Structure 1
Amino acid sequence: MAPGSSTINRKRVVALKKYLLKGNEAIAEAAIKAGCRLFFGYPITPSTEIIEYMAKHLPAVDGTFVQAESEVSAINMCYGAAGAGVRVMTASSSPGMSLMQEGLSYIAANELPVVLVNIVRAGPGLGGLGPSQADYFQATKGGGHGDYRLIVLAPNSVQELVDLTRDAFDLADMHRNPVLLIADGILGQMMEPVVFKELEAPSLPDKTWATTGAEGRPRNIITSYALQNEIGEANCLRWEAKYKNIAATEQRWEQYMIDDADYVVVAYGTTARIAKAAVQQARQEGIKVGLLRPVTLWPFPVKAFAALGGKVKGYLTVELSAGQMIEDVRLAINCAVPVHLCNRQGGMVPSPEEVLARFKEVFPNSVEGGV
């Protein structure tokens, strides 16, 4: 993982045996091991196995699963559970996430730790069941109303689905903020061996704000309603300061063959795996190109781009959308060099050969920089 820093500091104790798990099942098991004891959700493909796994396995650890009547109900149940200080999670896919946006805005405004999972399907509308990354804007820019942010984690393997699910709960508690784990349908449905590492828990703040009963202390009131504009502005400034701190401390990324690269491919999730193969093929042809993989989509890893300075001649983003992350790449480099797009949509996925062909198309002189 990343040269990027994080406020989560862990000490590895021991790694246990490997399990062969589907991505969605790995997320659910990781959540249970992270202490999630409440799950509210509504089934939707391709995320349904998360709900099924939770329904089967939460009771065994004295947890509670509720299939809500809708995604609107599920997110508001999470709202209430988080207010009581309990580790809680929901999961859905693209149209379901759209229904959750109002409740999610309330959760963010009240600074409550909730973990959400979006196994993205093709859209817009009902779309299709194929893999997609077209929910990037919704995830990173705030799909609901008001100035708020989610911490957004983007794994690219089943092992990372496990590791980042665990981190999601800690980040949510640490920053009192909802955290979104986002993955496409390929990652949710694929099977890979995983290890559930035994790690020391990080030091997390006490939940003195939780509504756990007021005996011996003043009542805790959770509300985002501010009738006085002065109070409303003070709240917004407090949230803004928190988001700036998160942006400064939680950027994560992975880089591959970057040190001598004249060009950089940027991709996350499944497309990063494809892009890595394309980079390997390009290197075999003498093209100096590397891969930069954002692990946090918000905060976007601008530090990684700043560290590259002016030595990179151009970027290519690889996306399963009409091109959304490309805007953040351009902002991260202040449009100093060309940034081009290689993309597929509607559930289609590019091959490494397509990525390399697109790279050569937009950077025809790239071979001159080869070794």
Structure 2
Amino acid sequence: MSVTAAQGFEASGVVAGLKSTGKPDVALVVNRGRRAAVAGVFTSNRAKAHPVIWSQQVVADGDARAVVLNSGGANCFTGPFGFQTTHLTAETVAEALDIGAGDVVVCSTGLIGVGDQTFRDKVIAGSQSAVVELSPTGGTAAATAIMTTDTHAKEAVVQGDGWVVGGMAKGAGMLAPGLATMLVVLTTDADVPAAKLHSALRSATHVTFDRLDSDGCMSTNDTVVLLASGESGITPDDDAFTRAVTALCADLAEQLQGDAEGASHDITIEVVGAVSEDEAVEVGRSLARSNLLMAAVFGNDPNWGRVLAAIGTTSAQFDPYDVDVSFNGVRLCAKGAPDRPVTDCDMSPRALRILLDLHAGPATATILTNDLTHDYVHENSAYSS
């Protein structure tokens, strides 16, 4: 039930006609609980969609009751009409729920530049229908409605000590870090104030969604929002709550990685022996964004030379001739030189782990990514057609 696993939440997913497939495309999550705390993390892309601009204002006071989401159109770069559409969407949901429009987070996903009167009419009508269809078991319907090129709904639940955190996510392309990397709604029935929600969410996204770098392309609409109903009546220890939120985000991030458009390998890049965590992240990201390395992985070629070439472009402190590189547990490079034949490494499994030891310090970081495939290029060459 994902977002409705926590007490006090209802959700729905309905067909509004935004998708040509006739599949659900408007979702709604509502907090009916005693508390209406919220925290949000948004794209750091300077090119922000209208729903992001609106929702940043909504979460600023730490209170929100609902999140309405549509797929089938990003409502980005649609001018004043687009922002008015976002505002009207919030007002429509607010009126139906008898709450203020300033307590409604709005999220959109899909093609940039879509935002005419037809789009508006369908979003508004869909939002009205979503209110009618709200249900304590509507989590999966909501998770299905926010899908775009996703092949399946993405949901997760983590049980606390008498409280729960649940969530749903969408994303299969344009996955790159910027505080958040897709549309994600998280809910909890723990009794947690907004400030602590914000702290836990920032901590969680920093080591999960921020480390998912599937194709190096940052979206204009990325949003992660966490709602707390307080219905369990339990206020968990701060560390325990942060661990639960982090585990939930990690689960959803891995689901997103596994559904990346056209990918044939799910790649975990583990950097150890770095001087600092930031440098470990920089090094790991340089591998994730190396088209040459990702193409080699697609071809089942453990080309560790491309690893060294990529990390040499970073500002991280290390000696390139003191670096070890392993693919799936087989060390192919030791101290910047061949260690054993590349034929010793089996690249055929979908899961691939690249371990890079810089031998420069105590810090580590892990980046999740995917290979570069023909299917990915095809999917994104015809996305708007």
Q: TM-score, normalised by structure 2?
A: 0.28
Q: Flag the structure with higher helix content.
A: 1
